[in-house]
């Protein structure tokens, strides 16, 4: 699936967002895919500097696994939140809603 992105090695900021990230597989693999495409140290540095990954997951268990995976990979720029991307966030609701309602991950 990630190979369909056809993203070039970035020269400006790119943000990859997965609104139902589960355990974070697509987030991790998408950045790794760009690292694999990089042929020079300069290109690898640009991927590390310009590509950020963001996700949201409504299952607390999957969210925790995703957070652990990103911590193990030491991706300082990755940001994953616990919430349901299909409903608006409300402070009075029992369920956390969309934490990125207006694309604030860009």
Instruction: Name the residue ranges covered by the structural domains of the chain.
Output: 15-82
What pTM does this model have? 0.78
Give the pLDDT score at 1: 62
50/30 Cα distance (integer angstroms): 13
Q: Which tokens go with 46?
A: 């640009």
Tell me the CB-side half-sphere exposure of residue 50, using CA atoms within 13 A: 16
Tell me the CB-side half-sphere exposure of residue 96, using CA atoms within 13 A: 11
Q: For all residues of the chain together, what is the average pLDDT?
A: 85
Sequence-distant (6+) residues with CB within 8 A of 6 are none
pLDDT digits (tens, 9 = 90+) for 23-69: 998 888 888 888 998 999 999 999 999 999 989 999 999 999 999 99
Report residue 72 CA to chain centroid gap.
15
Cα-trace Rg, the chain: 15
Q: Which tokens go with 19?
A: 């609104």
Give the pLDDT score at 12: 92
């Amino acid at each position: 699936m990630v190979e369909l992105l056809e993203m070039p090695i970035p020269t400006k900021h790119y943000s990859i967002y997965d609104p139902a990230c589960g355990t974070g597989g697509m987030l991790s693999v998408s950045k790794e895919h760009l690292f694999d495409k990089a042929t020079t140290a300069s290109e690898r540095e640009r991927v590390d500097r310009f590509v950020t990954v963001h996700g949201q997951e409504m299952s607390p268990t999957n969210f925790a696994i995703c957070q652990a995976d990103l911590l193990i990979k030491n991706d300082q720029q990755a940001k994953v939140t616990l919430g349901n991307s299909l409903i608006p966030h409300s402070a009075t609701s029992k369920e956390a809603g969309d934490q990125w309602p207006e694309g604030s991950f860009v």
